[in-house]
Amino acid sequence: MTVLFSGQLCLFEFKLVELTSADHALEQIKDMGCVDRCRARGDPIHLSGVACSKTSRNIVGFEVETRPISNGFGRSAA
């Protein structure tokens, strides 16, 4: 799921904890190339891997990583 809010781009991947973990969800966002496709916007990108439990029907864990703003030339803005 992708959410653009107040100049911030948030990418979410949800996984069932019984099958995998939150860090696996975060790795999947990176492996799918979502970050590269969104980088051209020039907005800060926040990656969120969320682990949900099928039995308790709640979020049981999450991992978050923030990528710096890119200036469009493959370098981070300083």
Q: What is the mean pLDDT of the chain?
A: 81
List beta partners, residue 13.
49
Query: What percent of the chain stands above pLDDT 90?
Result: 15
What the block records as the tokens of 53 is: 């439990």
**What confidence tens digit (pLDDT) does each residue in 7-19 have?**
889 999 998 887 7
Per the CB < 8 A criterion, the answer to whether 63 and 25 are in contact is yes
Per the CB < 8 A criterion, the answer to whether 18 and 55 are in contact is yes
Nearest to 66 by CA among 24, 10, 13, 14: 10
Diameter of the chain measured on Cα atoms: 46
Residue 24 DSSP class? H
Residue 70 above 90 pLDDT?
A: no
